[in-house]
Amino acid sequence: MKRNIVMGVAAGAALAVAGWMGTRALPAHAQSGGGINQVLANLHYRLVGPYNGARTEAVSGVVGNPDVWYFGSVDGGVWKTTDAGKSWKPLFDREPVQSIGALEVAPSDPNTIYVGTGEACLRNDISYGDGMYKSTDGGKTWEHIGLDDTQHIAHVVIDPHDPNRVFVAAMGHASGPNAQRGIFRTTDGGKTWEKVLYKNDKTGGVDVVFDPQNPQILYAALYQFVRLPWRADSGGPGSGLYKSIDGGNTWTQVAGHGLPGGVWGKIGVAAAPNGQRVYALIEAKDGGLYVSNDAGATWKLVNDSDQYRQRAWYFTHIFADPKSNDMVYVENTGLYRSTDGGVKFKTIHGGDSHGFWIDPETPTHFITSSDEGAFISLDNGKNWSTNLNQPTGQFYSIATDNDVNYHLYGEKQDAGSVVIASRTNHGFIGPQDQYGASGGESGWLVPKPNDSNIVYGESYDGDMSRYNVKMGLSVPIGPWPDNPMGHGDIDMKYRFQWTAPIATSPWNPNVVFYGAQMLFKSTDMGDHWQIISPDLTRNDKSKQISSGGPITQDNTSAEYYDVIFSVAVSPVQKGILWAGSDDGLIHITRDGGKNWSDVTPADLKAPDHQWAKIGNIAASPFAACTAYVAARRNKLDDFAPYAYRTDDCGQTWTKITNGIPDGYYVQKVAPDTVRKGLLFAGTERGVFVSFDNGAQWQPLQLNLPHVSVRDLEVHDNDLVLATHGRAFWSLDDITPLRQWKPATASTQATLFKPEPARRTFGGGFDFFERGGSVAQNPPGPAVIDYYLAQPPQGPVEITVTNAQGEVMKSFSSANNPKPRANSGGERGGFARFFRHGVTVPNKQGFNRFTWNLEALTAPEPIKGEVLWGARGGVTPIVPTGEYTVKLTVDGQSYSQPLTVTLDPRLHATHADLVAQWDLAVKINHDLTQAWGAVRQMLALQTQIARVDTSAPASVQAAGNLLHGKLHTAIYKISNLDNKSGEDPLNFPIMLDNKLAVLGGRVEECTCAPQQGSIEVYSLLRSQLDAQLAAWRELQAKDIVAFNALLQQNKLAPVTVSSQP
C-alpha cells in the first residue's frame, strides 16, 4: 500500500472562520423581507403540478421504523413521509435554499436530521447550496449550522452512537476553485467544524463512510471536477481514496496493491459489516468495482462492466448491505444488487439512480432515489411506493396557449414534455388533466399561436418535432437531423444545444424559429426551413472540443457552446427579432432577418463579465424597441445578477439589478402586459418584482419556496412560473400588483377594481384543500381584493348590487355563511361545487375574497327531510352584466364596478340568462314560502301536543283533529317520512322536493329554461298556491276555533309564528 499521509488542515482545532459558523444572519430577502412581500403576504402562489417526482440524490430513513422516511430533492427541498410513501410533506419551504445534496437521520436519535445543501451530481442544470442544516425535532424546524461556501455537499454520515459527531463530504464550487471543500468533521452537533481532509482548491469530498465495526475508522473519497459553460472535466491528480483509523484526525491515501494506476475520477466507497471488506467503485482507465478483504490493504477488480461505471461523473454510487458482506448495491441507470460480492448484479429498480439508504436493523426495508423521485420498498425490492405524489419537477421554460382553461407547457428534466391545465371544470387538476406532447426532457415546448392542437417540442441535438394533439401524432421537423451524440460540437455543421430555443410569431401563426449558432425560420410549421442569420456567436473553437475530462468523454449537447440560447419576437413591430447567445452576445434584426446588428451591452463585453449566458430576452408588449435581457455567469463561478433594459433597440442599455442580491442570478425578466413598468424577475432563488421598469426590485416570494425559477410569464391576469425543482406555479390574478400605489400601504382601506368574473360551468372554481396528486383550481370566478392598513375595529362587510341597485348578496366577517349540509342527492351543474370560499377575511394587510356568483340566500330545507335529487334550496347564479362591489370597514364604504362575462365556449345570450335568473329567483322564493309554512305548522303541532293532558276531552279531541289537519297539510308540501337516502322510493316526493329538483334543473346549464321547465313550474306553483291557501284557511278558521275552545277552558292559546 502506498503510504501518503495527509493531515487535516485544522486537525483537532475548531474552525472559527467567518461564515463557517452557524450564527449567520440571513438577508432580508431570505426572511420574507418587507416591502410588497410583506404587505401582500396573504396573496399566495398556487402549485399547478405535475405531481410526479424528479431528480433526487439524498434519502434517509429512521432505524427500525418502516413508516418514516425522508428525501432531499436537488432543487425541491426536504420531504418527509409518515406512511411509507403514500403521501409526502415538504419540510424545507421556508429555508433560503432548496437544493439538497445529502441528508441523514441520526441512528441514535430519530429526531435529529442533518442536511447538506447543493446537489453533488454536477450536471449542466445544477443549483447550489449554502452549507449545512440541522433539525432536532424531526424536521419541524431547522437551524443553519455553517459550511456556507461549500455550495455542493455530496454525503453526510453520523456516528451511530453520537448524534453530535458528523462527517461531511463537500465538493465545493462546481465552476471554480475554493478552499471550503474536502472532508469536514463536527463533534458538537455543528457548532464548530474542522476540515480534516483536503487536497487542493480544485478537489472536493464526494464520499465518506464509517467502518461498521468501529466509527473511529473511516474511508473517504476526494474528487477533482470542474464544470464550465462549454465543458465538464471529471478526474485529475486530486482524486483519490483515503482511510483514517483515528477518527479523522489523520488520513492515509489508499493506492496501488491492486487498485488501478493512472488518473482517477469519481469514486464511491462502501464498507461491509465485518469491518474487513471494503468496496470501491472507481472511475479510471482500468476502473470498475474493486474489493478489499483486508480493510483496504490489498484490492481485486471484480467487475469492470460499463453498465455500472458508465457516465461515472453522474453516477458512481455504491452501498453495502448492513448484515451481509457479499451483498452490495450499485446505482447507475438503475439500482443493481449483487449477492456475490459484486461479481454479478441484478436490476431491482429502474431510472438514473443516485441515492440509497437501507435500514441496518431490517435490510429488506430501503429507499432509493433517481431522476424520477424517491421510492420505498418494504419487501426487499419486490414492490415500491409511488413517485406520483412528489411535485418536484424541473422545468426549463414555460409557455401558454389561449384556451379558456389555458395550459402550461414545458419540458421536464428526465421525464419528457408536459402539458397541464391551469384550471379545469371538474373542481381540481389531476393526472387526467396533463399529457405529453413533442420533444424530450430539456428543450422548449411551445404551442402554435391560437391553436393548442399543434405543439412544437425539442429534444437535445436538434431533434425538433411537431405534435398533433387530437391525432396523438408526432412529426419530426428538425432542420438538420444529423445526430451528433458523443461528438464534440466542433465536429457539427449546426450546433443545436441541450436547450435550443423555439419561438413562434405573433404576426403569422405558421411561422416558427429555431436556434443553432444561426437562426432558422419556417413559414409552414417546420416542414421547410431557411437560415435567416449569420453565426450570431463568438464561434470560439477552443470551447467546442469534446467534453468529459481525461478519462470518460461525455457529449450529450449539454456542453455544446457558441449557440443561440434565446430568441424573442416583438409583438409590437413586425420584423423585430432578438437573439442572445450562450457566449454573451445579443443581436437584433429590424427587417425580419435580412440584416443583423450586434447590440451587446458594453458591460457584458468587459473582461470580467464576458461569456455570460444570455438566458432569456423578453420583448416589450408596449414599445417596439424595448426589451429585457437576463444573463448569468454561474458556470464561471460568478453568482451576481445580470439584467438589462434597452429602450432604443439595443443602442444603449441600463443595468436593472438594484435590489436583487448576489446569489440570486437572474433567469428571466418578464414585463406585465397591462401595466407599463411592472416587471417580474425569475431568479435562482425566487421571484422579484419592480414597479418602475427595473430601477428597483423587491422580493415577491410570498409562499413560494426559494426554488430556481427558470422562466415566468404573464398570461391574462396570472403570473405563471416554471421552477426547476417544484414544478409549475401560478400567482393567480395579479390585479393588486397592477393597481398598487405607494400610498396604498398607508391608506385606511383600498378596494381594488376586480377583473371581470367569468361565468362558466362545472366545478371550475373549487378552491379547497386536496392532497395526493391533485392540485387546486384558481380562486373565483369573482375575485375581490382589498387592503387594510390597520386591523379593523368592526366587521368587514361586502355587498354586491346589480345595475338597478338591488342587493344580490351580502357577506360579513361577523357572520360568515357556513357550508350547507348535504340534504340528500346532488345539486347539478355550475353551482354545485361552490360550497367554499365564503369567509370574509379581515386581516391587516392584503385580503382576498372570492364570490361564486350565487345570489340571494338559499332557503333551508326542513331538518331531517331527505330530498331526492336535490341539495336543498336554490341559490340563483347572477346573469351577465354590470354590478357594483361595496366594501364597508369601520363605517367607511368603498365601491368598485364588477363585470360578469360568459365563458366563450358557451352560447347563451344575456336574455337567456336573465330568463334563467328570473325563474331561479321565483323557485327560491317559492321554496322559502313552502318551507316557512311547514315550519309554522310543525311548531303549531308542537304547541298542540303540549296542551295539558288534564284538559277536557273536548279540547283534546279538537287538538287531535287540528293536529291531523296540519299533518295532512304538511305532507302535501313536504314528505317528512323521507329520512334516508332511498326512502323517496317508498314515500313519494312532494311539492318542496319537486321545486328543488326543478331549481337544480333550471341551473344545470348556462341557458334559458326549457319550455317544459316553465310549464312544470307553472303547475307546481299553482299547486303550492293551493296548499298555501289551505294553510291560510286553517289559520283563519280551525286555529281560531281551537283557540276559542282553549280560552273557554282557561288554557293558553296556540300561536302561529310570524317568522317561519
Work out the average pLDDT over 140-156: 98
3-state secondary structure of 810: strand
439-488 pLDDT, tens per residue?
Answer: 899 989 999 999 999 999 999 899 999 999 999 999 999 999 999 999 99
878-907 pLDDT, tens per residue?
Answer: 999 999 999 999 999 999 999 999 999 999
Its sign, for the CA torsion 1029, 1031, 1036, 1037, is: positive
Q: pLDDT value at position 1059?
A: 61
Identical fold, 5-13+55-373 and 481-744: yes
Q: State the DSSP code for 576.
A: -
> What's the distance, CA 912 to chain centroid?
40
Could you tell me the pLDDT band of residue 11, with boundaries at 50, 70 and 90? very low
**Closest Cα to residue 199, out of 219, 177, 168?**
177
Could you tell me the pLDDT band of residue 4, with boundaries at 50, 70 and 90? very low
The set of residues, in sequence order, having a beta carbon less than 8 Å from that of 432 and lying 6+ positions away, is: none
537 phi and psi angles, rounded to 5 deg: -120, 180
- What is the DSSP pairing of strand 399-400 with strand 407-412? antiparallel
**Closest Cα to residue 454, out of 388, 516, 527, 382?**
527
Q: Options 3.40.50.700, 2.60.120.10, 2.130.10.10, 1.10.3720.10; which CATH number does 481-744 get? A: 2.130.10.10
pLDDT at 942 over 80: yes
Q: pLDDT value at position 163?
A: 98
Q: pLDDT value at position 31?
A: 41
Work out the average pLDDT over 871-884: 93
pLDDT at 771 over 90: no
pLDDT at 571 over 90: yes
619-652 pLDDT, tens per residue?
Answer: 999 999 999 999 999 999 999 999 999 999 999 9
164-175 pLDDT, tens per residue?
Answer: 999 999 999 999
Could you tell me the pLDDT band of residue 10, with boundaries at 50, 70 and 90? very low
**Closest Cα to residue 133, out of 161, 166, 110?**
166
- Number of other CB atoms surrounding residue 789 within 10 Å: 14
pLDDT at 22 over 70: no
Indicate the residue type of 200: N
914-930 pLDDT, tens per residue?
Answer: 999 999 999 999 999 99
C-alpha cell at 140: 419541524
Q: What is the chain's length?
A: 1060
Q: pLDDT value at position 6?
A: 35
Work out the average pLDDT over 22-37: 51
1003-1042 pLDDT, tens per residue?
Answer: 999 999 999 999 999 999 999 999 999 999 999 999 999 9
The set of residues, in sequence order, having a beta carbon less than 8 Å from that of 953 and lying 6+ positions away, is: none
Q: pLDDT value at position 831?
A: 36
Q: Mean pLDDT across the chain, nearest whole number?
A: 93
Q: pLDDT value at position 34?
A: 65
Work out the average pLDDT over 253-282: 98
Q: pLDDT value at position 838?
A: 73
**Closest Cα to residue 422, out of 714, 168, 157, 661?**
714
pLDDT at 273 over 90: yes
- What is the DSSP pairing of strand 686-690 with strand 679-683? antiparallel
pLDDT at 764 over 90: no
- Number of other CB atoms surrounding residue 534 within 10 Å: 12
Could you tell me the pLDDT band of residue 1060, with boundaries at 50, 70 and 90? low
> What's the distance, CA 537 to chain centroid?
35
**Contact assessment for residue 418 and residue 391, using Cβ atoms and an 8 Å cutoff:** no
Could you tell me the pLDDT band of residue 1050, with boundaries at 50, 70 and 90? very high
> What's the distance, CA 68 to chain centroid?
23
pLDDT at 210 over 70: yes
Q: List, in sequence order, the alpha helices (H) in 693-794.
A: 735-739
- Number of alpha carbons in the 13 Å side-chain half-sphere of residue 46: 23
Q: Containing H/E element for 940?
A: helix 910-945
CA distance 289 to 337: 13
Domain ranges (residues) in the chain: 5-13+55-373, 481-744, 757-902, 910-1048
Work out the average pLDDT over 352-368: 98
Whole-structure pTM value: 0.93
End-to-end CA distance of the chain: 97
Could you tell me the pLDDT band of residue 873, with boundaries at 50, 70 and 90? confident
Task: Spell out the CATH class of 5-13+55-373.
Answer: mainly beta
pLDDT at 770 over 60: no
pLDDT at 290 over 90: yes
Could you tell me the pLDDT band of residue 874, with boundaries at 50, 70 and 90? confident
CA distance 1048 to 947: 14
pLDDT at 604 over 80: yes
Percent of the chain beyond pLDDT 70? Answer: 94
Could you tell me the pLDDT band of residue 562, with boundaries at 50, 70 and 90? very high
pLDDT at 807 over 50: yes
Q: pLDDT value at position 257?
A: 98
**Contact assessment for residue 1002 and residue 1009, using Cβ atoms and an 8 Å cutoff:** yes
CA distance 368 to 376: 7
Q: Comparing 579 with 832, which gets the higher pLDDT? A: 579
- What is the DSSP pairing of strand 892-902 with strand 757-759? parallel
